[in-house]
Amino acid sequence: MSASEPGTTARPEAGGPGPAAGPAEPPRPPAFRGHPYLLILAVLAGLYLVRLWRTEGLAEENLFNTWLFMSCLVVGFWFVFGVAGQFAFSQAAFAGLGAYTAAWMTGNDHPFELAVVVAVLVCVAVALVFALLVRRAEHLYFAIATLGLSEVLLLVFRSWEGFTGGGELTNIAPISLFGWEVSGPDRDQRAFWLFLGLLGLLLALATALQRSPVVREAIAVRDKPLVAASAGLPGVRIRATFLALGSGIAGLTGAFLVHWRGSVTTEQFGVDLGLAVFLMLILGGMHSKYGPLLGAWFYVYVEHGLRDSSDYLEFLEDGPLHGVYTFSENLDQYWPILYGSVLVVVMIALPDGLVGIGSRLAHRLTGAGGDARSTGPLARLGLTGLGDVAARLRRGRAAAPAPAPDRPGPPGAAAPAGPDTTTPATTDTTTPATADTSAAGPADEAAAGASARAEPAGVSSPPAGPGSESLAAAGGPAGSPPAKGEGGGSAVQERAPAPAGAVLTARSIGVSFGGVRAVDAVDLTVGRGEVLGLIGPNGSGKSTLLNAMTGVVPAEGTLEVAGAPVPLGKPPRVRRAGLGRTYQTPQTFTALTCIENVLLGVPDRRRMGIVAGAVARPLVLADERRRWAAAQAALERVGLPDHAERPAAGLSHRDQRLLELARALVGEPKVVLLDEPSAGLNATETEELCALLTGLRAEGLSLLVVDHKIDFITELCDRVVVLELGRVIAEGDPHGIWSDQRVVDVYLGVPPEPADADAVDVEAVP
């Protein structure tokens, strides 16, 4: 990257050799501020007090320990589903795998400590192999595959005599950690300490990872996998890592469980427990690491409470229900009805679980309009889940800022919204939600539906919608528009010479959706420091061409970036080669803060994994400081210097566009593809954007700009290519191109030829 010219915006140097900007150490990234671990200690202390206060007798103590144990298991699942969004039913089966592995080890006279380690390793290994096998499975396929895996594991537990004794094992040695045994008269007391410690460790691990890059990347991969891939994130690896982490924790808790209980049966780890794990996480709140604690409390104690409520039910039987219904003797039989119903009700009415209620209350109490994720006392205690919750609440209600881009001519890329967009809306997080909820019933639902299915359309889903950005194949030569390169003299004819030292060279790019040839053998070059404009009417294939070059739609052709060939169809590769992009409908990650959005684009991927995030904190901090400085510099470069710690959810349209640009810039691209950057911006904002982009060009960056605004294109671009029906029909100087009759025609539409009756025969219509 070339140094900034003296004339352009002063900014701290980001990508230079020195890691830090200036002598003063940059501030700690917010993820490294505050004392979230204090909250964990407080929670643990609270648990201890509750136990002192409420728990008497063996049964109660046992129940309390079960609660803690379940919490541990579900915290593991929180990593899998809550953070990485993976629909896995296998958590219970992995607990079983850990349990039987550890029991086999101790049964063969290995020490318990070793047994636990081996159990965890076995689970991690199986999870990794499984995750790699099903790496291409999404959503339902993944869910079903994990169900299948569970069945296979359960069958192994039942059938492999040598390993599991046919499923039923008794007389398993007690837990013994370096001489400290969970046995004898104060067995339950010790088990309590053990599980409390385990829970503390897991929560601390969760906190550490939330404060390292890995969780933010997992959230990005979860929420918008294609955009994340285009930003360079290794989606498969991240998903596999989190499945392995959660499964390893399941194995760990399973190993402790069997040695605590002293016996094990296969049924304990059946699908029922798998579902229960889901229930606990969802009921507690899947977006907070404390959710599992609440969900497990409900699961363990409400079932128990039901068992104890026979007096009340007898009253019902003698009174209002006399002769109508007799309750079952075993009241806990009713339990699954309750929790099944709760599952449905929670899904309908309470998508953020019990923690969600708490956080809404907290928001109301503190009156905090802002997002608790990164500011405020709650955040300093590490209640980062709350930010996610708030963001989800906003997203959940219909379609907040993203309008239905499903149909092109996007209403959202629409309408410079006048005064609305000029005032930064970032301080106000509640307005969009309320505005949406006030909207009418059925129509509201329609909007929600539209936006739900519209989500991937922003990056154009190939087979499903030939409608978006589709065009005529212009098949036979008969009906095709003027072939490129010939005909129609004028300014356009003097094609600007392809600049020497092309940064981007695309040859014969073609994309077909079903029978529609959306892009047809397009050649493009962008020179170093050049701004190439790409214009054409709606549906002429501009966005599809960008999607083809960045690898998110299948395409043919070849691509070279700075002379090196880049394979099509692999977004992270394209990104690493130096091709950044923005989207027609801004694609930001609303569950993250602004700077986290930008950090996703940082190419430096040192120590991004789970192990480093958990163990090598000082090193990660140093890396994060460097990345943070680069991201902050990128934010400053696009004119959002104060936005770092604001949630991306509340941004104005303009700021979302700038944020995307910052995410592209931080990757130190050689060329950035901008898809309608001025859409939705008013005149002033468009001029500011133009100035910003001109400044970037002055720094040596190349740009490929798709846009509709003639002033913007004329002022910004060195050269313009006109696309129509997926082909290049004209190319030239931005001032001259508008007087080309073909260009005027394609924009206004050529008036229909006088109709001779059968001008349209089968051959002529492609």
Partner 1 sequence: MDDAMLEIRGASVSYGAVRAVSDLDLTVGAGEVVAVLGANGAGKTTTLRAITALVPYAGSIRFDGDEVSAVGTEELARRGLIHVPEGRHIFGSLSVHENLLMGLPARAGRTGGYTVDDVYDLFPPLVALRNRSGWALSGGEQQMVAVGRALVAAPRLLLLDEPSLGLAPIVVAAVYRALREVAKTTPMLVVEQNTGAVLDLCDRGVVLADGRQVVEGTAAELGGRRDLLDSYLGQRVLDEAEA
Partner 2 sequence: MVMEVALGGALGAPLGGSPAVLAVSSKFISLTAAGISQGAIVALAAVGFLLVYKATGVVNFAQGDLITLGAYLALWLTRDFDAPILAAYAGAIALMFLIGVVLERVAYAPLRGRSIHVVVIATLGAAIVIRTVIALWLGASPVALDSPARGHLWRVGGAAIPLQRIVIVVVTLLVVAGLTWLFGPTAFGRQVRALAADRETARLHGVRSARLSMVAFGLSAALAGLAGVLIGPANSSFDITLGFSVMLGGFAAAILGGFGSLTGVVIGGFLIGLVEQLFGGYVLRDYRGAYPFLLMILVIALRPQGLLSGRAAHERL
Residue placing its CB nearer to partner 1 in the complex, 288 or 468: 468
Does the footprint of partner 2 cover residue 155 (CB under 8 A)? yes
Binding mask 231-270 for partner 2 (x = CB under 8 A): ------------------------------------x--x
54 binds partner 2 (CB under 8 A): no
Our CB check for partner 2 shows the closer of 506 and 511 to be 511
Residues 493-532 that bind partner 1 (CB under 8 A): 513-517
Q: Which residues of 193-209 are buried (b: 16+ CB within 10 A; e: fewer)?
A: bbbbebbbebbbbbbbb
Does residue 688 touch partner 1 according to CB under 8 A?
A: no
Ranges within 529-548 binding partner 1 (CB under 8 A): 537-541
Query: Does 408 interact with partner 1 (rule: CB under 8 A)?
Result: yes
Sign for the pseudo-dihedral over CA of 376, 377, 382, 385: negative
Residues 690-729 that bind partner 1 (CB under 8 A): 708-712, 714, 725
Contact window for partner 1 (CB under 8 A) among 180-188, 277-285, 435-443, 660-668: 435-443
**Interatomic CA distance for residues 192 and 71, integer angstroms:** 13
Applying CB under 8 A, among 306, 415, 616, 692 the residue interacting with partner 1 is 415
Strand order in the sheet with 727-732: 579-581, 671-675, 702-706, 531-535, 719-724, 727-732
H/E stretch holding 117 reads: helix 112-133
In the list 278, 583, 589, 628, the residue contacting partner 2 (rule: CB under 8 A) is 278
| Strand, coil or helix: 706 | strand
Binding mask 63-82 for partner 2 (x = CB under 8 A): --------------------
* Binding site partner of 762, from partner 2, partner 1, none, Cβ cut-off 5-8 A by kind: partner 1
Q: Counting runs of H as helices and runs of E as strands, what totals does the chain give?
A: 30, 12
Nearer to partner 1, 401 or 551 (CB): 401
d(CA 79, CA 96): 18
- Residue 489 is a binding residue for partner 1 (CB under 8 A): no
Query: Of these partners, partner 2, partner 1, none, which one is at the site of residue 137 (CB under 5 to 8 Å by kind)?
Result: partner 2
* Residue 270, contacted partner among partner 2, partner 1, none, CB below 5-8 A by kind: partner 2
Total residues contacting partner 2 (rule CB under 8 A)? 58
Q: Which DSSP letter does residue 87 get? A: -
Q: Is the Cβ of residue 598 or residue 651 nearer to partner 1 in the bound state?
A: 651
Of positions 20, 450, 616, 691, contacts partner 2 by CB under 8 A:
450
CB 579 to partner 2: min, Å: 27
Burial of 410 from C-beta contacts in 10 A (0-12 / 13-18 / 19+): buried
Considering only residues 209-268, where is the footprint of partner 1 by CB under 8 A?
Answer: none
The SS3 call for residue 645 is coil
Q: What is d(CA 627, CA 666) in angstroms, rounded to the nearest whole number?
A: 9
CA distance 621 to 213: 10
One of 49, 452, 478, 744 touching partner 2 (CB under 8 A):
452
Name the nearest CA neighbour of 460 among 338, 571, 623, 597: 571
343 sits near partner 1 (criterion: CB under 8 A): no
Is the Cα dihedral 392, 398, 400, 404 positive or negative?
Answer: positive
Query: Is residue 477 part of the contact set for partner 1 (CB under 8 A)?
Result: no
Distance CA 560, CA 584 (A): 23
Q: Is 252 helix (H, G, I), strand (E, B) or coil?
A: helix
Give the nearer residue to partner 2 in terms of CB position, either 299 or 628: 299
Q: Are 195 and 51 in contact (CB under 8 A)?
A: no
**Which of the stretches 312-320, 328-336, 530-538, 707-715 binds partner 2 when contact is defined by CB under 8 A?**
328-336
Out of 104, 339, 589, 712, which residue is the one contacting partner 2 (CB under 8 A)? 339
How, if at all, do strands 180-181 and 176-177 pair?
antiparallel
Residue 479 touches partner 1, criterion: CB under 8 A: yes
CB of 554 to partner 1, least distance (A): 14
Q: What is the DSSP string of 380-393?
A: HTT-THHHHHHHHH
C-beta of residue 673 within 8 angstroms of C-beta of residue 693: no
Q: Which does 533 bind (CB under 5 to 8 A by kind): partner 2, partner 1, none?
A: none
Answer yes or no: are the C-beta atoms of 123 and 97 closer than 8 Å: yes
Among 114, 321, 414, 446, binds partner 2 (CB under 8 A): 446
Give the other-Cβ count within 10 Å of 312's Cβ.
11
- Three-class SS of residue 506? strand
Whether 328 and 362 have beta carbons less than 8 Å apart is answered as no
Task: Return the number of the residue (44 or 306) whose C-beta is nearest partner 2.
Answer: 306
Residue 698 makes contact with partner 2 by CB under 8 A: no
Backbone CA torsion sign across 484, 732, 715, 504: positive
Residues that bind partner 2 (CB under 8 A): 85, 87, 130, 133-141, 143-145, 147-149, 151-152, 154-156, 158-159, 267, 270-272, 275, 278-279, 282, 328, 333-337, 339-344, 347-348, 351, 406, 445-446, 448-450, 452-453, 463-464
